[in-house]
Amino acid sequence: MIEVQNITKVYKSGDVETEVLKGVSFSISQGEFVAIMGPSGSGKSTLMHILGCLDKATSGQYFFEGKDISRFSDDELADIRKKKIGFVFQSFNLLPRTMVLRNVMLPLAYANVSKNEREEIAKKSLMSVGLTETHFTHLSNQLSGGEMQRVAIARALVNDPSLILADEPTGNLDTKTSEVVLDTFQNLNNQGRTIILITHEADIAKKAKRIISIRDGRIVEDKIC
Protein backbone atom coordinates (compact mmCIF):
# COMPACT_ATOMS: atom_id res chain seq x y z
CA MET A 1 0.00 0.00 0.00
CA ILE A 2 2.74 2.47 0.99
CA GLU A 3 6.34 2.71 -0.13
CA VAL A 4 8.67 5.59 0.62
CA GLN A 5 12.08 5.70 -1.01
CA ASN A 6 14.87 7.90 0.33
CA ILE A 7 12.51 10.61 1.59
CA THR A 8 14.11 13.83 2.81
CA LYS A 9 12.56 16.98 4.21
CA VAL A 10 14.40 20.27 4.53
CA TYR A 11 12.90 23.40 6.08
CA LYS A 12 14.37 26.77 5.15
CA SER A 13 14.33 29.93 7.24
CA GLY A 14 16.26 32.66 5.51
CA ASP A 15 19.74 31.29 4.88
CA VAL A 16 19.32 28.52 7.43
CA GLU A 17 18.38 25.01 6.29
CA THR A 18 17.23 22.32 8.73
CA GLU A 19 17.16 18.74 7.49
CA VAL A 20 14.40 16.96 9.43
CA LEU A 21 14.19 13.71 7.44
CA LYS A 22 17.41 12.21 6.12
CA GLY A 23 16.76 9.50 3.56
CA VAL A 24 13.86 7.52 5.04
CA SER A 25 12.79 4.32 3.24
CA PHE A 26 10.23 1.64 4.16
CA SER A 27 7.08 -0.06 2.90
CA ILE A 28 3.77 -0.89 4.56
CA SER A 29 1.45 -3.56 3.23
CA GLN A 30 -2.32 -3.43 3.23
CA GLY A 31 -3.75 -4.69 6.52
CA GLU A 32 -0.71 -3.90 8.65
CA PHE A 33 -0.85 -2.14 12.02
CA VAL A 34 2.35 -0.11 12.26
CA ALA A 35 3.56 2.26 14.97
CA ILE A 36 6.03 4.99 14.02
CA MET A 37 7.78 5.84 17.27
CA GLY A 38 10.29 8.50 18.18
CA PRO A 39 11.05 11.24 20.70
CA SER A 40 10.16 14.88 20.21
CA GLY A 41 12.20 16.31 17.35
CA SER A 42 12.88 12.91 15.78
CA GLY A 43 11.03 13.71 12.56
CA LYS A 44 8.03 11.44 13.14
CA SER A 45 5.48 14.26 12.90
CA THR A 46 7.03 15.51 9.67
CA LEU A 47 6.91 11.96 8.31
CA MET A 48 3.27 11.68 9.39
CA HIS A 49 2.39 14.84 7.47
CA ILE A 50 4.02 13.44 4.33
CA LEU A 51 2.32 10.05 4.69
CA GLY A 52 -1.01 11.83 5.22
CA CYS A 53 -0.52 13.98 2.10
CA LEU A 54 -0.55 17.10 4.29
CA ASP A 55 2.97 18.03 3.15
CA LYS A 56 5.45 17.09 0.45
CA ALA A 57 8.93 15.65 0.78
CA THR A 58 11.87 17.74 -0.39
CA SER A 59 13.25 14.75 -2.30
CA GLY A 60 12.59 11.05 -2.68
CA GLN A 61 9.48 9.18 -3.78
CA TYR A 62 6.22 8.29 -2.06
CA PHE A 63 4.05 5.58 -3.60
CA PHE A 64 0.48 5.21 -2.32
CA GLU A 65 -1.51 2.27 -3.67
CA GLY A 66 0.96 1.97 -6.51
CA LYS A 67 0.86 5.64 -7.56
CA ASP A 68 3.87 7.93 -7.23
CA ILE A 69 2.26 10.87 -5.47
CA SER A 70 5.53 12.66 -4.76
CA ARG A 71 4.81 15.24 -7.42
CA PHE A 72 1.02 15.41 -7.14
CA SER A 73 -0.59 18.83 -7.11
CA ASP A 74 -2.18 20.20 -3.94
CA ASP A 75 -5.63 19.43 -5.36
CA GLU A 76 -4.66 15.85 -6.15
CA LEU A 77 -3.27 15.38 -2.64
CA ALA A 78 -6.46 16.85 -1.16
CA ASP A 79 -8.46 14.31 -3.15
CA ILE A 80 -6.41 11.45 -1.68
CA ARG A 81 -6.89 12.82 1.84
CA LYS A 82 -10.63 13.04 1.30
CA LYS A 83 -11.13 9.61 -0.25
CA LYS A 84 -8.29 7.41 0.95
CA ILE A 85 -7.09 8.51 4.42
CA GLY A 86 -8.93 8.74 7.73
CA PHE A 87 -7.25 10.98 10.32
CA VAL A 88 -7.43 10.65 14.10
CA PHE A 89 -5.75 13.39 16.14
CA GLN A 90 -4.76 13.81 19.79
CA SER A 91 -7.16 16.74 20.22
CA PHE A 92 -10.19 14.86 18.75
CA ASN A 93 -11.16 17.85 16.52
CA LEU A 94 -14.88 17.35 17.10
CA LEU A 95 -17.37 20.18 16.68
CA PRO A 96 -18.33 21.33 20.22
CA ARG A 97 -21.97 21.43 21.30
CA THR A 98 -22.84 19.33 18.25
CA MET A 99 -24.48 15.92 18.40
CA VAL A 100 -22.23 12.88 18.04
CA LEU A 101 -24.13 11.65 14.98
CA ARG A 102 -23.77 14.98 13.19
CA ASN A 103 -20.04 15.09 13.92
CA VAL A 104 -19.59 11.71 12.25
CA MET A 105 -21.88 12.56 9.33
CA LEU A 106 -19.96 15.71 8.42
CA PRO A 107 -17.31 14.21 6.05
CA LEU A 108 -20.10 12.54 4.08
CA ALA A 109 -21.78 15.88 3.45
CA TYR A 110 -18.63 17.04 1.66
CA ALA A 111 -18.76 13.82 -0.39
CA ASN A 112 -22.31 14.66 -1.59
CA VAL A 113 -23.89 11.65 0.10
CA SER A 114 -27.65 11.94 0.68
CA LYS A 115 -28.80 12.77 4.21
CA ASN A 116 -30.51 9.42 4.83
CA GLU A 117 -27.48 7.52 3.64
CA ARG A 118 -25.16 9.75 5.69
CA GLU A 119 -27.09 8.95 8.82
CA GLU A 120 -27.08 5.20 8.18
CA ILE A 121 -23.34 5.10 7.45
CA ALA A 122 -22.55 7.23 10.52
CA LYS A 123 -24.59 4.95 12.81
CA LYS A 124 -22.82 1.84 11.52
CA SER A 125 -19.45 3.53 11.94
CA LEU A 126 -20.20 4.53 15.53
CA MET A 127 -21.33 1.02 16.40
CA SER A 128 -18.19 -0.42 14.82
CA VAL A 129 -16.09 1.41 17.43
CA GLY A 130 -18.24 0.20 20.32
CA LEU A 131 -20.59 3.16 20.84
CA THR A 132 -24.29 2.48 21.29
CA GLU A 133 -27.34 4.40 20.11
CA THR A 134 -27.58 6.10 23.50
CA HIS A 135 -24.47 8.11 22.54
CA PHE A 136 -25.72 9.27 19.15
CA THR A 137 -27.70 12.29 20.38
CA HIS A 138 -25.21 13.37 23.05
CA LEU A 139 -23.31 16.58 22.43
CA SER A 140 -19.61 15.99 21.85
CA ASN A 141 -18.67 18.06 24.91
CA GLN A 142 -20.82 15.79 27.10
CA LEU A 143 -18.61 12.77 26.41
CA SER A 144 -15.58 11.38 28.23
CA GLY A 145 -12.18 11.64 26.57
CA GLY A 146 -12.25 8.01 25.48
CA GLU A 147 -15.73 8.38 24.02
CA MET A 148 -14.70 11.51 22.13
CA GLN A 149 -11.73 9.70 20.64
CA ARG A 150 -13.91 6.78 19.55
CA VAL A 151 -16.28 9.27 17.90
CA ALA A 152 -13.24 10.72 16.11
CA ILE A 153 -12.27 7.22 14.96
CA ALA A 154 -15.81 6.61 13.72
CA ARG A 155 -15.69 9.87 11.79
CA ALA A 156 -12.38 8.78 10.21
CA LEU A 157 -14.05 5.57 9.00
CA VAL A 158 -17.17 6.92 7.28
CA ASN A 159 -15.58 7.41 3.86
CA ASP A 160 -14.21 3.83 4.00
CA PRO A 161 -10.56 4.97 3.73
CA SER A 162 -7.71 2.69 2.73
CA LEU A 163 -5.59 3.99 5.61
CA ILE A 164 -6.23 5.17 9.17
CA LEU A 165 -3.51 7.59 10.31
CA ALA A 166 -3.57 8.23 14.06
CA ASP A 167 -1.35 11.00 15.46
CA GLU A 168 -0.73 10.54 19.22
CA PRO A 169 -4.38 9.42 19.63
CA THR A 170 -3.98 8.64 23.35
CA GLY A 171 -1.99 11.75 24.25
CA ASN A 172 -4.88 13.38 26.13
CA LEU A 173 -6.17 10.19 27.77
CA ASP A 174 -5.47 8.37 31.01
CA THR A 175 -4.01 4.87 30.97
CA LYS A 176 -7.29 2.97 31.30
CA THR A 177 -9.03 5.03 28.61
CA SER A 178 -6.00 4.70 26.35
CA GLU A 179 -6.36 0.92 26.53
CA VAL A 180 -9.96 1.16 25.33
CA VAL A 181 -8.97 3.34 22.37
CA LEU A 182 -6.05 1.09 21.46
CA ASP A 183 -8.32 -1.95 21.65
CA THR A 184 -10.56 -0.17 19.15
CA PHE A 185 -7.65 0.21 16.73
CA GLN A 186 -6.69 -3.44 17.21
CA ASN A 187 -10.25 -4.54 16.46
CA LEU A 188 -10.32 -2.42 13.31
CA ASN A 189 -6.99 -3.90 12.23
CA ASN A 190 -8.35 -7.41 12.83
CA GLN A 191 -11.14 -6.47 10.41
CA GLY A 192 -8.51 -5.70 7.76
CA ARG A 193 -7.96 -1.96 8.24
CA THR A 194 -4.47 -0.58 7.64
CA ILE A 195 -3.42 1.59 10.57
CA ILE A 196 -0.38 3.81 11.15
CA LEU A 197 -0.04 5.02 14.73
CA ILE A 198 2.33 7.90 15.54
CA THR A 199 3.58 7.92 19.13
CA HIS A 200 6.53 8.75 21.39
CA GLU A 201 5.57 6.11 23.96
CA ALA A 202 7.01 2.60 23.78
CA ASP A 203 4.08 1.07 25.70
CA ILE A 204 1.63 2.51 23.16
CA ALA A 205 3.76 1.42 20.19
CA LYS A 206 3.78 -2.17 21.46
CA LYS A 207 0.05 -2.39 20.77
CA ALA A 208 0.88 -2.37 17.05
CA LYS A 209 2.18 -5.41 15.19
CA ARG A 210 5.26 -3.62 13.87
CA ILE A 211 7.31 -0.70 15.17
CA ILE A 212 9.35 1.66 13.00
CA SER A 213 11.62 3.71 15.30
CA ILE A 214 12.91 7.04 14.09
CA ARG A 215 15.55 9.28 15.61
CA ASP A 216 17.28 12.39 14.27
CA GLY A 217 15.48 12.00 10.96
CA ARG A 218 16.59 8.42 10.29
CA ILE A 219 15.05 5.00 10.85
CA VAL A 220 17.04 3.27 13.58
CA GLU A 221 14.92 0.12 13.93
CA ASP A 222 12.11 -1.68 12.12
CA LYS A 223 10.82 -4.71 13.99
CA ILE A 224 7.83 -7.02 14.17
CA CYS A 225 6.20 -7.14 17.62
Domain that holds residue 201: 2-224
Which of helix, strand or coil describes residue 175?
helix
> 136-159: per-residue pLDDT in tens?
999 998 999 999 999 999 999 999
Tell me how many domains the chain contains.
1
- Longest CA–CA separation in the chain, Å: 57
Interatomic CA distance for residues 44 and 42, integer angstroms: 6
Give the Cβ contact number of residue 219 at 10 Å.
19
Whole-structure pTM value: 0.92
Predicted local distance difference test score (pLDDT) of residue 88: 95
- For residue 111, name the pLDDT band (cuts at 50, 70, 90): confident
Interatomic CA distance for residues 39 and 213, integer angstroms: 9
Q: Which CATH number fits the domain that encloses residue 17?
A: 3.40.50.300
Whether the per-residue pLDDT at 42 is higher than 90: the answer is yes
